[in-house]
Amino acid sequence: METLLPIIINLVSGVVGGNVAGALLKNLSLGTAGNSIAGILGGGIGGQLLSALGAGGLDGIVGQLASGGVGGAVLMMVIGLLKQMFGGKA
């Protein structure tokens, strides 16, 4: 369970980060479901990448929350931008 908890925190904070970014950047929003899916993926990937890099000195739950949330928000914004660039209405 000790190894699963950081991953769960990253995924949940990624969902929150993706939805917060979608609410703030309505022109890039993918809808609640899209923002959540992008947030889960971004939170998992971003959380693992930033924790491997040291997350800027943030350790423990705070670092996992920050890295997962940022990863989710960034991936949601990237997908929203790509969707706009290729003709989709984001």
The tokens 């990937």 sit on which residue? 45
Instruction: Name the DSSP letter for residue 21.
Output: H
Confidence of residue 42 (pLDDT cuts 50, 70, 90): very high
pTM of the model: 0.85
pLDDT at 60: 78
DSSP assignment letter at 26 = T
Residue 45: per-residue pLDDT: 92
The structural domains of the chain, with segments of one domain joined by +, span 4-48+67-85
Q: How sure is the predictor about 38, in pLDDT bands with cuts at 50, 70 and 90?
A: very high
Residue 41's H or E segment, with its range, is: helix 31-53
Task: For residue range 60-85, list pLDDT tens digits in order.
Answer: 788 888 889 999 999 999 999 999 99
Mean pLDDT of the chain: 87
* Dihedral angle over CA of 53, 55, 48, 43, nearest 10: -150
Tokens encoding 39: 């947030």
